[in-house]
Structure formats: structure tokens, C-alpha cells
Amino acid sequence: MSRIERVGFVGLGNMGGPMCGHLARAGLEVRAFDLDEAALGRAVDAGASAVRSAADCTDGAEALITMLPAPPQVEQVLLGDGGVIGALAPGSVAIDMSTSSRAVGERVWAAAAERGVDVLDAPVAGQSIGARAGTLAVYVGGERRVFERARPLFEVIGDPARIFHVGRNGAGYTVKLLLNLLWFIHSVAAAEVLSVGVRAGVSLDRLYAALVGSPANSNFLERDLRMVLDDGDYDEAFPMRLVTKDLGLAVDLARDVNMPVELTGLVEQIQRRARVAYGDDAGEISVVRLYEELAGSPLRLGNDAPEP
């Protein structure tokens, strides 16, 4: 099984840009494309070669990685006019690291099979900070032999201890949607609990310390929420338009497998309210702002008054 040395990379946003940079700095030959000239320039600064189209990324590529906002962009880049599946050489690998849908994936897998191109769905988790640090978790769906061939690329982009082969094609998309769903549920639950406690007169600092030290603790509460509680940062690197996109895909997935998800439906509507209130580009934890407004004060640590 030949080592992948030449890679195409399409999609250089807050996540894709750093991911592409890690591959280039690791010594791989990377041809990169994005519609944003500034993003393309940053990839060049990291050592990638800029090309004029997505299809140009396939020239000599043994693997082509896409990191795109949503299923329509994934389908357009992979299967549309000038799509990369039709340009990739037989025996190469198309790796979609976007959060996308199984429906689009099925069309991609069928087209790739006709070309003799292998496909992996390999979405990531870890926020933009993880993309910059090269510590992302990667959830991969596809044949084991293809996964093993691509593993060295994932180990450059992410944490080698958190690279998971989760099943056949589509399993990566499914796991990532469910991971995001649980994270968005946590964001609503944590905002509700903290705002109720503050309104009831409990110090936020002491309530937060008690929750983190309790059986109800979570990674979201202990780590991810701190950017809001410490700095009022709602994480604009991942905007609300993508939050609601992912929640819509999760609802579609549940419908496809005929599973009732009442809590998911409620959380989706609360997150959509946050998007309407604060805008498409508001940060992914903006739902906390809804509860801060209801509580009448921002939820910030470090303001604990001494006991009388």
C-alpha cells in the first residue's frame, strides 16, 4: 500500500485552513484551493501551492481532502461541473472531512465507484482551536484498508489517540452529527442550569465549582463553556448558521431511521431562536446569551462577592 505524498485540499476556512497548513508543513506536496483569496494566501504561506479551481487540486493527487460548510457545497465540489470525483485518478482517495449528510455521501460513493476512486467520510471535532493546534478528533467511515492508507494524513491533522474508524461509509457522518447534537444539547442545558441558579441567588463561581465537582459534570461544562464564562467569547469561529444546519441534519437522520427525538426538536428550536436573535454569524455558544438576558446579567466567573 503506497504512502500518500501528494494531496489536494479544497476549503480553507477556520477549520480547513489550519488543517491544510499542517499537511504542508509536514512535508507533503499540497495543492490548495478556496474561493477566498486571503485564505488561499495563508495556505501558500504555510507551504501549499495555490491552484485556480477545485479540479486543479486533483492534478497528480493521491488523495483529495474537502472541508466545506454544508452538504450542497460538498456535492457541488465533488460531483458538480468540474467536480473532483470525475478528475481524480483511479486508485486515489477522496476524503470528505466536512459535516455532511449520508444522502449526499451515497451519490458521491456511487460516482467514485464508477471511477475506481476510494472514498472516506472523515468529519472532525475540536473547534478551530483544535484545528490550529493539530489536535482534532477524526471520525472515519469507509473500508478499513482505505482508512489505514489515509491514517498518516489524519495523524498530521489530529490527535493520533483520537482517530476513530467507526464503520463503513456514512458512519463518520453519523457519528459527527450525533456528537454535535449532544454538544448543542449540553449548551442549552448548561445555560438553563446556571441561569436558574444565579436567579435563585447562588454565586455563579460557587455553583459552577460545585457542578464541575459533581456527577453531573461534562466536558462541555468544564472546558468548552469557559470561553463564555471567562471572557464572554461565544466562539464566532463556528457560526450559528452552521449550528442550525447541523441540527437540521441530525433531525433528518432521526427521521430517516424512524426514531422519535423530542428533545432534539426542542433544542433545535431554541438554537434557531438564538440564530434569529443574534444573527447568522453569531458564535456557536450564543444560546447562552438567551438565558443571560432572561437572568438579567451575563454569566461570568470571577465576580464572587465575599460572604458577609
Buried b (16+ CB within 10 A) or exposed e, 112-143: beebebbbbbbbbbbbbebbbebebbbbbbbe
Range of the domain at 40: 6-169
- Is residue 3 over pLDDT 90? no
For 290, list phi and psi in degrees, rounded to 5. -55, -45
What is the pairing mode between strands 124-125 and 118-121? unpaired
Same domain, 25 and 161: yes
Q: Give the CA radius of gyration of the chain.
A: 21
Q: Which of 124, 148, 169 is the last residue of a domain?
A: 169
Residue 307 lies in a domain: no
pLDDT score for 82: 86
- 219, with CB counted inside 10 A (0-12, 13-18, 19+), is exposed
H or E segment and range at residue 243: helix 240-256
- Is residue 257 over pLDDT 50? yes
pLDDT score for 305: 53
Q: What span, in angstroms and rounded, lies between the C-alpha atoms of 161 and 126?
A: 13
245 belongs to the catalytic site:
no
- What's the Cα-to-Cα distance from 213 to each of 207, 208, 223, rounded to whole Å? 10, 9, 13
- Is residue 85 over pLDDT 60? yes
Same domain, 207 and 154: no
pTM: 0.93
Cβ contacts of 69 within 8 Å, gap of 6 or more: 11, 13, 98, 242, 245
pLDDT score for 308: 46
pLDDT above 70 coverage of the chain, percent: 98
Span 175-194, average pLDDT: 97
Query: Of 130, 134, 105, nearest to 120 (Cα)?
Result: 105
Same domain, 115 and 207: no
Q: What is the pLDDT of residues 105-161, one digit of tens each?
A: 999 999 999 999 999 999 999 988 899 999 999 999 999 999 999 999 999 999 999
Cβ contacts of 72 within 8 Å, gap of 6 or more: none
CATH code for the domain of 272: 1.10.1040.10
- Is residue 304 over pLDDT 70? no
Q: Which residue has the cell 460548510?
A: 69
Q: Which of 106, 138, 169 is the last residue of a domain?
A: 169
Q: What is the pLDDT of residues 201-248, one digit of tens each?
A: 999 999 999 999 999 999 999 999 999 999 999 999 899 999 999 999
Query: Of 181, 53, 52, nearest to 123 (Cα)?
Result: 181
Under 8 Å between Cβ of 97 and 19: yes
Span 279-288, average pLDDT: 97
Q: Which of 176, 184, 264, 289 is catalytic?
A: 176
Work out how many domains the chain is built from and give that number: 2
Cell of 47: 507551504
CATH code for the domain of 147: 3.40.50.720
Same domain, 57 and 147: yes
